[in-house]
Every structure is written in structure tokens, then in C-alpha cells.
Amino acid sequence: MTSTAAGPPPLPAAAEAARRTAADLGIGARFSLHPAADDAGAAVLDALAAADRSAVDVVTDDVSTLVRGTEADVVRFVHDVVAAAGRPGRHVVAQVHLSRGCPGEVACATADDVVLAPVVVPDLPATGLRAAAHWALYPLDDGTAGRPGDHMRAIEQAVAVARTRAVVTPSTFVTRLDGDLADVLGAVVDGWLAAARHVRHVVAHATITLHSPSWSAAEVTR
């Protein structure tokens, strides 16, 4: 297939197939950015404009931004936008909601060997931005007639995986993560994809704070 008209060149066949599979599997993110600034709207638009969106579909409305694509492309886009929002050095909070998998067996004919196949975790470069997050993982494991689900086991496995990337502190309703933004978001992603090896529908939520006014200058540079 060649491109004869003006416009972006077509995706290579493999990338196009990966994007189709991602859509079938319901992969994507919703996120919102909250700069503590009178001109928050402009700051959000600047951050969104700073990231390469050639590999993802992005729709922003009055509540949040929806990103669709493969896991690696979605995560890289969200990471780049949040990092861009944090670079000016002022307090900003990102709410990140990652979703993957068929919401219900009835609505989704994709076989387990496709849904539960291993996924390449994106490589996120260190940002130099300190981040703290409250992270919650929801493995929606209904189980089967012969085998009940065990969502707490999937959560515990994901928390163990997260420990290899960020400082992990258990808390009420959430797990706290501390580290470089790339490692905090990376830990959320690693845990999400670890659970997705066993559970068809897995959702992660994280509230990620950068440049909190509660942190002293000494803490920020540590």
C-alpha cells in the first residue's frame, strides 16, 4: 500500500494490526491534569501539545482526556504529557486511569491466549521529577464455575512487581508510590500488566502529585 494523497503516511502493516488488536482488547487510558494555577487551562493544553501523538488517538473533553492505542504507546503518551506539565516546576496533579481487557465474557469473543499474552512494558526515561502517588488496582476477576476469582492475590502480586521500580508504602484503600515520575508511573504500569497476565479485565487508578507545596526544598532535590 502506498500513499498518494497528502496527509500522514499509512502505518506499517504490523503497527496497524497492533492498533486494531488494542482496540479489540479495550486498551487505553483516561487522564486529567490539574495544575495549581490561575491559567490551568492553558497549562494543560501546552502539556498535551508537547507530547508526540502520532501513535495514539486522543480525545479531550471537559472532564478528562481519552487515549487509545497499544499499551506501550498509551503509557508513553501519558508519561510525556505529565512530565511536560511538571517541567515548569509548579504544583500539578495528574489523575491516571488505565484500562485493559474485555469488560465481560459475553461481550468479548477474544480468546484467553490473546487477552492474557505478555505485553511489552514501555521503557520510560527518568524525568528528574519527584513524584508521589496513591495507586489502586482493580483486577475484575469473576472466576469461572470451577474456579473462584482471587482479586486480592492479583493485587498482592502487582504490588510486589511495583516494589522493583518505586518505594512502596501500603495505605488505606491505596498503595503509596514514591520515586521519579517515570518509576512511579512505570510501577503503576508494571502492576497493571502483571495482573493482565491472569485477569481479562484490569483497571488501575493513580493520583500522582508533582512539586507538592508540602515538600520542602530540601526534599524536592533529594
Indicate the pairing of strand 92-101 with strand 167-170.
unpaired
- Of the candidate spans 4-12, 113-121, 143-151, 189-197, the one that interacts with a copy of itself by CB under 8 A turns out to be 143-151
Q: Is 53 in the site for a copy of itself (CB under 8 A)?
A: no
Closest to a copy of itself by CB, 116 vs 136, is 136
Q: Among 5, 13, 14, 63, which residue sits at the site for a copy of itself (rule: CB under 8 A)?
A: 63
**Number of residues in contact with a copy of itself under rule CB under 8 A:** 58
Helix, coil or strand: residue 207: strand
Q: Is 69 in the site for a copy of itself (CB under 8 A)?
A: no
Strand partners, 169: 176
Q: Among 141, 180, 183, 190, which residue sits at the site for a copy of itself (rule: CB under 8 A)?
A: 141
Helix (H) or strand (E) holding 60: strand 57-60
What DSSP letter does each residue of 125-192 carry, written as one string?
---S-EEEEEEEEEE-----SSS---HHHHHHHHHHHHTTTSEEEE-SSSEEEEEEHHHHHHHHHHHH
Residues 24 and 73: beta-carbon distance below 8 Å: no
Closest to a copy of itself by CB, 12 vs 20, is 20
| Helix boundaries (H) for 94-180 | 112-115, 151-162
Q: Is 140 in the site for a copy of itself (CB under 8 A)?
A: yes
- For the CA atoms of the chain, what is the radius of gyration? 18
Q: Is 200 in the site for a copy of itself (CB under 8 A)?
A: no
The closest alpha carbon to 90, from 52, 40, 30, belongs to 40
Q: Which residue has the cell 497493571?
A: 192
Q: Is 179 in the site for a copy of itself (CB under 8 A)?
A: no
Closest to a copy of itself by CB, 125 vs 153, is 153
Q: Among 21, 58, 87, 91, which residue sits at the site for a copy of itself (rule: CB under 8 A)?
A: 91
Q: Is 152 in the site for a copy of itself (CB under 8 A)?
A: yes
Binding site for a copy of itself (CB under 8 A): 28, 30, 32, 34-38, 40-41, 61-64, 66, 68, 91, 93, 95, 97, 99, 103-104, 106-107, 132-134, 136, 138-152, 171-174, 176, 201, 203, 205, 207, 209, 212-215
